[in-house]
A and B are shown apart, each in its own frame.
Chain A
Amino acid sequence: MVPDIQYSMQQSQQALSAALQQVSTGLRVNQPSDDPAAAANMVSSLAESANVDQYTRNVSFVLPQMQTADSAISAVVTSLSSAVTLGTSGASGTDSAANRQALASQTAGLLSSVISQANTTFQGAYVFGGLSSSTPPFVPASSSFTSTQGSVLIPLTATLPLTAGSVTTVSDAATGKTFEFTVIAGEDISSLSTAIEEAASTGTLSAGTTATINANGQLSIGTNSSSAGIVVHSNDPALGSMSATPGTEVANAYAYVGQSNVNSVQVGDSMSIATNIPGDRLFTSGANVIGSLNGLINALQSGTSDQIGAASSAVSAALNYVSQQRVPLDNNISQMNDQESYLGQEKVTLSTQQSALVGVNLADAATNLSQAELTNSAVLAAAAKVIPQTLLDYLK
């Protein structure tokens, strides 16, 4: 009988401690053996929760950046509207030359405001720089750039080999495009010249863009466009860095030196969103915003009424273009707001699922505990009554 009583006591004590653990931890499953299937499901559910948390953080990261971009575009739209007004006024033909100059300088002010919006940063990153978010995407252009290498003593020659893998880029303010030349082993300066001429003939660069060796023996890349300019970068040690030839800066001309590609960030299991907008798509391609403003300034400074009218039509077209480009961004912003609240709900759903998997209903747990206490006391009381009882108690 004693082993039976001991067994009953062990069982009821185990039940008691299990009930106590459930109440104190609030969990039904404290270790995998408590419910192997629930424990395995928890692994997946927790991984999903971690993803939802991360998606939420990503949305919080992307959303303000998109809102910054949106307000910058909005400011650009305002500037363009003002420019259209100035252009219309300049085209009326009633203004004096002095007035037109005043309008031109006001327009130049609007352009620099557009450029500052186009170079907007969010937490140190240039919003319209594409992948290159660490340097300003829009920089002043010059009509000519010369290489560091090639002093009088060691002049560069057309047959000088270039460094394989190095990259030279020419960004054109007039076309809004960037020509990129990556050196393949065996290519020399003449290969670069040929490639640039080809780019000029296909329209990537303005017609007349050339790369030649100048009188000092330096490589000179230049354009003959008087109103627009270029920006040249090179990481080829054979050329050295390219810098603007002094005195060739083109007023009111800016080239896009950012990237055309953008990063995407995952904000849902099957949903990614671009973190930034390449500035060339917004401001220099299509109806070229910066180019049209530049054209209007030139026309106001020295053009006829017709030319001013045409230039302000171009600005007006650019205004429409930017407004159109803003639509997908606004859609994305509202999508992100929706996604943020969806993720919030998803988090709640997952928490509910998790507490259903491993949690314990506190009312049930408390009832179980008091039941277990009762059983345990009953077992102990029964043991106390039964163990000492033998026939000897009744023999006199």
Chain B
Amino acid sequence: MASLSTSLLTAVQALVADTGALQVTNNNIANASTPGYSRQVAILQEAAPTEDGSSSVGNGVVLEGYQSVRDELVQAQIQQETQAQSGANAQLASMQQIQPTFTTSTQDIGTEMSAMFSSFSSLSTNPASTSEGEAVLTAGQNLATAFNTASNTLTSQQAGLNTQVTQDVSQINKLTQQIAALNPQIAQLNATGQDGGTVQDQENQLVLSLSALTSVAVTQTDNGETLTTGNGTPLVVGSQSFALQSTTGSNGMQHVLDHNGADITASLTTGDLGGTIQTRDQTVSGLLGQLDTLANQFGSAINAAQAKGFNQSGTAGQNFFNIPSTVAGSAASISVAITAPTQIASSSDGTAGSNGNLANLSAVQTTALPAGQTPGDTYASLVYQVGSLTSNANAESGATTASLLQLNDQLSSVSGVSIDEESTNLITFQTAYQAAARVVSTVQELFSITLAMGTAAAE
């Protein structure tokens, strides 16, 4: 049978529950701007009713606990998209620095190349002229410098990316250690049926940071989260983290090894580390290879044309450009071999005044190199690739940014703190608290009346 003291107990339980709910609201508002915070809700439950014969009376409310509101699927999508975005950003940052070298200017390879052919043509009007010959030498030197500069830009970019690999690996190792330290705490909370709460939020935030660095696959287990790289190399299992190592490979570049020492460099494709490695080993390396081939084949073609003729004193033409015997490194080391205008093989038969061989030198411009295209077209295709790679990286970065924004919106509509909603909750719980307090004071008054009844009878 319901009694005053039961009512008082019910009211007190309500006060406790409302205080708890107010505390959750308070915490939510306090963390409204905390990155990675998942909004919490108080779990309120009806207390078991008291059976009284045929009727049952409710016994108020019980505060069961607190639950963070999460959407694991969206969280996983955000991690994946972050990997793609960081990869694209790594490529974009490099390409944006490489691009100016291949932009049409007064000093780019294309301009210097046509300046060299103009100087040949100009010399043909007066093959014995020292000043026209000097102009050819200068044009040759400018072109060699343009090749050197472009090669230098690419190799220094590669060196920068190489340093980034080492930094990324050490950053990844720090994060996996921190995640491994949090895993047991979450496992313990989960084992008792509780929500991971703040600890889970911290871990999610760390996994997100890790996703920005490399490809990560997350599996939920009883021992917390198991993390592996995209190809299955373990990073964190339970409370144990497995450190990656970086070591200098045979090509002088940093390679990434797993905890067993196996080389996993090529399998890393996303995240900053993946993007950095891809850009270093595929994009920049590919461009450098093509640039070297162009420098080597162009230099050889000019040298071959020189060899067909004679200088104005009748000496057979010597090499115009110094080029290394191997293609690799040609763009970096190409230089002008001849030192004086008199060494230009302008004469076709050694007759002084003849310009016959300059036609052979000029013909290099319109003759396909062994690689299949004319020097100008080969360079144009290089420019196209640089432009296209930059523009694609830019587009991918933009697309992933937009997609991440949407995913974050989606997550924040579930897990995010809405001030409006919390304000409403505040009012609701405040009112509920006030009402419960009113019940207490009402019961107190009723108690007073009841006690007064006894006193009046005694008098």
Contact = CB atoms under 8 A, between A and B. Distances in A.
Contacts of A37: 384
Contacts of B111: 46, 50
A47 interface: yes
B132 to A, nearest CB: 11
A211 interface: no
A87 B229 CA distance: 106
B353 A390 contact: no
Interface in B377-406: 377, 379-381, 383-388, 390-391, 394, 401-402, 405
Nearest to A131: B353
Contact of B104 (A33, A46, A134, A272): A46
Interface stretch (A51-59, A150-158, A245-253, A376-384): A51-59
A215 interface: no
**Chain A: interface residue count, which band?**
35 or more
Interface in A221-243: none
Interface in A37-68: 37, 39-44, 46-47, 50-51, 53-55, 57-58, 61-62
B322 interface: no
Contacts of A39: 103-104, 383-384, 387
B153 interface: no
Given A33-B95, A34-B387, A266-B121, A131 B104 contact: no
Contacts of A57: 122, 125
Contact of B355 (A7, A31, A263): A263
A295 to B, nearest CB: 32
Given A42-B104, A261-B354, A391 B384 contact: no
Interface in B96-120: 99-100, 102-104, 110-111, 113-115, 117-118
A132 B102 CA distance: 44
B359 interface: yes
A212 B353 CA distance: 33
B389 to A, nearest CB: 8
Contact of B110 (A30, A43, A133): A43
B417 to A, nearest CB: 12
Contact of B383 (A7, A32, A133, A264): A32
Contact of B114 (A47, A133, A265, A269): A47
Q: Tell me what chain A mostly uses at the interface: helix, strand, loop, or mixed.
A: helix
Contact of B122 (A44, A54, A62): A54
A35 interface: yes
Contacts of B327: none
Interface in B112-160: 113-115, 117-118, 121-122, 124-128
A275 B419 contact: no
A344 interface: no
A47 B113 contact: yes
B409 interface: yes
A263 B99 contact: no
A359 B391 CA distance: 19
B117 A32 contact: no
A263 B132 CA distance: 16
A259 B104 contact: no
Given A40-B381, A42-B104, A58 B121 contact: yes
B359 A272 contact: yes
A40 B376 CA distance: 10
B102 A7 contact: no
Contact of A266 (B127, B359, B390): B359
B424 A391 contact: yes
A328 interface: no
Given A43-B104, A266-B359, 11 more contacts: A3-B409, A39-B104, A39-B387, A57-B122, A131-B352, A263-B127, A263-B353, A263-B354, A263-B355, A275-B125, A391-B424
The 3 closest A-B pairs by CB, nearest first: A32-B387, A36-B387, A33-B390
28 contacts: A7-B401, A31-B387, A32-B388, A32-B391, A33-B391, A36-B385, A36-B387, A37-B384, A39-B383, A39-B384, A39-B387, A40-B380, A43-B104, A46-B110, A47-B117, A57-B122, A58-B121, A58-B122, A58-B125, A132-B352, A263-B124, A265-B121, A265-B125, A266-B124, A390-B419, A390-B420, A391-B420, A395-B423
Interface of B: 95, 99-100, 102-104, 110-111, 113-115, 117-118, 121-122, 124-128, 351-356, 359, 362, 365-366, 376-377, 379-381, 383-388, 390-391, 394, 401-402, 405, 408-409, 419-420, 423-424, 427
